[in-house]
Amino acid sequence: MEAWRRQLDDPVSAFPIAKAGPAHIATLKTYDPPLSALEGRRLAGVRRRAKRLLFATEDGELVLLVHLMTAGRLKHLRAGEKGPKTPAFQLEFEGGSRLVLTEAGAKKRAGVWLLTPEAAGAELEHLGPEANELNAKRLGEILAADNRRLHSLLRDQRALAGIGRAWANEILHTAQLSPFALSSQLDEAEIARLAGAIDSELARGLFLRERGAGDKQVYRVHNRLGEPCHVCETPLARVDYEEHTVYYCPKCQTGGRTLKDRRLSRLLR
Ligand SMILES: [Zn+2]
């Protein structure tokens, strides 16, 4: 998300908006103020909050909030550059450049909200601190405040914002911690490792994404069942947990133990 933000920051603020829309009915989540309220205004650039991109108008009166979910893509097209036939959402700038939101697949999950700054603030209030801005002390407080399995806690945007399921896998592998370890039971060294892994993995992801790397190049653990661990060469394992599939190295992270699908073991007990 941070890589997207950096790419879009300059081009979207270069010209005022000439036309806002069209928007797919499932994508645009608000109707008041209307999209046309954006026309004639200039954006102040892009900010990011967790997985949301925020485009505030320069006059400070409106905020366009975009949540890409998993399949949404935002692209800036120069004047005359070919784009998708039916974008889920589009902003056209004076001079003819465009910001387009597309979404692969039939299901429209990505969302666009046009909000007042107050409403945007309320929308974002429940988010935890940004994961890439935490130190070990603050992370320790978050872990102690909410005793849960690490994979679940890392993904919870209310606890800390900006980590999805794939990065939770990458981070826990780098930190050499079990996805099922309980957050309040980490010792100081483990908390420091986790804080270091959050920083180094998110930075690594940003570095690669900015150079156009795809999932296969970025993820070393996520979605790599049976492939050798890049540290110890043990085949990577996976376990279903909550609604997610968790990938991990049984040697680096769980001391040789295989994690059990807890939903199933509960049923069989
Ligand atoms: Zn390993």
State the Cα torsion 29-30-36-38 to the nearest 10°.
-90
- Determine the distance separating the centroid of ligand 1 and the alpha carbon of 241, expressed in angstroms: 20
Mean pLDDT by 10 residues, the chain (269 residues): 87 96 91 94 93 94 92 92 92 97 85 94 88 92 94 93 93 97 96 97 90 91 97 96 90 93 60
Other beta carbons less than 10 A from residue 207's beta carbon? 12
Measured between alpha carbons, how far is 110 from 178 in angstroms, rounded to an integer?
31
- 250 C-alpha to ligand 1 centroid (Å): 7
In the reported structure, the alpha carbon of residue 237 is separated from the centroid of ligand 1 by a whole-number distance in angstroms of 10
Query: 98 φ, ψ to 5°?
Result: -140, 150
Whether the CB-CB separation of 209 and 139 falls below 8 Å is answered with: no
pLDDT of residue 263: 65
Closest Cα partner for 180 from 248, 266, 230, 128?
Answer: 248
Ligand 1: distance of its center to the CA of 169 in Å?
Answer: 13
CA of 226 to the centre of ligand 1 (A): 12
Q: Tell me, what's the pLDDT at 269?
A: 47
Name the phi and psi angles at 28, rounded to 5.
Answer: -80, 120
